[in-house]
């Protein structure tokens, strides 16, 4: 088996995932340079993850009194916490302050790209070490798994970004915590079940693992489609820096709309007065008068 074929088997599944997620970003697709940066940062995140897992493995062995203890410490805790933390850390480092991070679905795109950077390098190492069959198996298990972990990381990171932009510290912390906890939980169950199946050599446990993967895939497809369809702006950004412009408005006529940070005012709007004829009280004539006074939109709404 030539090295080029093995490389293709390792890389193509990650590219397929990236293309699929990118096409779902319909409102405002992200610039290639930022996507490439996020993917590269995902690749880099494998370095500290490998070091931490290498050192942590000695601790897990020392604390384990049985194989089950070791599997719990290693695959339910150490590996998923380390890998998801490293991925989120480098994704946030790459994009959090960027003015391009201005829609909720952007968080999903960035987190999946970062996860695929991590998974791509990991996949290359596995395929070159264990061969073609491993690459084909990981193409339908581990690669989609990393993408799904990135999906849920992005869902809650996007919510954290919304809360951050609104100055809502409570919900920022809550969603930021979930952006790590949910991927760790999904990743931990994935690793623990398959490692337990391998250790016990149990067809039944392997069947449970396959069922778990299928359920994750089905649910993830629903979640990402819904996230794409409900994508909305986080904050309005203008200029070349990352400072929110709270006075930037989208206007229809003279009415400022669609910017929750901008004051809702109407400038140069016509003001109407009523003139009644004393001899014809039932007849009302409305004549517009031009005014330069700025009026609050809320004053124009019926009580």
| pLDDT number for residue 2 | 82
How do residues 121-160 score in pLDDT, each as one tens digit?
Answer: 999 999 999 999 999 999 999 999 999 999 999 999 999 9
pLDDT score recorded for residue 254: 40
Phi, psi of 212 (to 5 degrees): -60, -45
- Classify residue 287: in a domain, yes or no: yes
263 and 153 within one domain: no
Q: Which of 197, 229, 261 is the last residue of a domain?
A: 229
Q: What's the whole-number mean pLDDT along residues 209-224?
A: 96
The answer to whether residues 147 and 180 belong to one domain is: yes
Question: Chain-wide mean pLDDT for the chain?
Answer: 83
Identify the DSSP state of 233.
B
Position 3 scores a pLDDT of: 86
DSSP 3-state assignment of 250? Answer: strand
Q: Which domain holds residue 145?
A: 3-229
> What's the number of domains the chain is made of?
2
Do 270 and 224 share a structural domain? no
Residue 195 lies in a domain: yes
Say whether both 87 and 152 belong to one domain. Answer: yes
Do 219 and 269 share a domain, yes or no? no
pLDDT at 88: 98
> Is residue 104 a contact partner of residue 51, using CB atoms and an 8 Å limit?
no
- For residues 267 and 222, state if they share a domain: no
Burial of 174 (0-12, 13-18, 19+ CB in 10 A): middle
For residues 159 and 171, is the Cβ–Cβ distance under 8 A? yes
Residues 52 and 178 placed together within one structural domain of the fold: yes
Taking only the tens place, the pLDDT of each residue in 36-78 is 999 999 999 999 999 999 999 999 999 988 999 999 999 999 9
Determine the average pLDDT of the residues in 75-89: 97
Do residues 110 and 175 share a domain? yes
Question: DSSP readout, 280-296?
Answer: EEEEEEEEEE-----EE
pLDDT tens for 87-97 read 999 999 999 99
218 and 281 housed in the same domain: no
Per-residue pLDDT reduced to its tens digit, 244-268: 444 444 333 344 444 444 433 444 4
Q: Is the pTM of this model over 0.85?
A: no
């Amino acid at each position: 088996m030539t090295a080029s074929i093995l490389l293709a088997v390792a890389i193509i599944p990650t590219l397929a995932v990236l293309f699929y997620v990118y096409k779902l970003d319909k409102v405002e697709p992200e610039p290639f340079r930022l996507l490439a940066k996020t993917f590269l940062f995902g690749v880099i995140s494998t370095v500290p993850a490998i070091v931490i897992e290498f050192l942590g493995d000695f601790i897990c062995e020392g604390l384990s009194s049985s194989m089950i203890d070791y599997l719990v410490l290693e695959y339910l805790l150490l590996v998923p916490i380390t890998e998801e933390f490293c991925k989120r850390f480098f994704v946030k480092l790459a994009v959090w302050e960027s003015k391009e991070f201005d829609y909720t679905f952007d968080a999903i795109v960035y987190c999946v790209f970062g996860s695929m950077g991590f998974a791509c390098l990991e996949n290359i190492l596995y395929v070159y070490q264990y061969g073609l069959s491993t690459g084909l198996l990981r193409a339908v298990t581990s690669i989609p798994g990393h993408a799904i972990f990135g999906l849920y990381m992005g869902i809650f990171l996007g919510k954290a970004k919304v809360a951050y932009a609104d100055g809502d510290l409570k919900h920022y912390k809550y969603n930021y915590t979930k952006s790590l906890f949910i991927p760790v939980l999904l990743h931990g169950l994935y690793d623990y079940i398959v490692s337990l199946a391998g250790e016990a050599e149990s067809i039944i446990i392997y069947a449970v693992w396959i069922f778990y993967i299928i359920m994750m895939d089905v649910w993830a497809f629903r979640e990402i489609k819904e996230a794409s369809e409900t994508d909305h702006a986080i904050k309005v950004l203008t200029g070349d820096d990352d400072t929110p412009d709270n006075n930037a408005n989208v206007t229809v006529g003279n009415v400022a709309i669609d910017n929750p940070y901008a004051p809702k005012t109407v400038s140069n709007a016509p003001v109407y007065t009523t003139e009644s004829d004393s001899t014809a009280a039932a007849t009302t004539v409305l004549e517009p008068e031009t005014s330069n006074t700025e009026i609050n939109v809320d004053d124009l709404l019926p009580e």
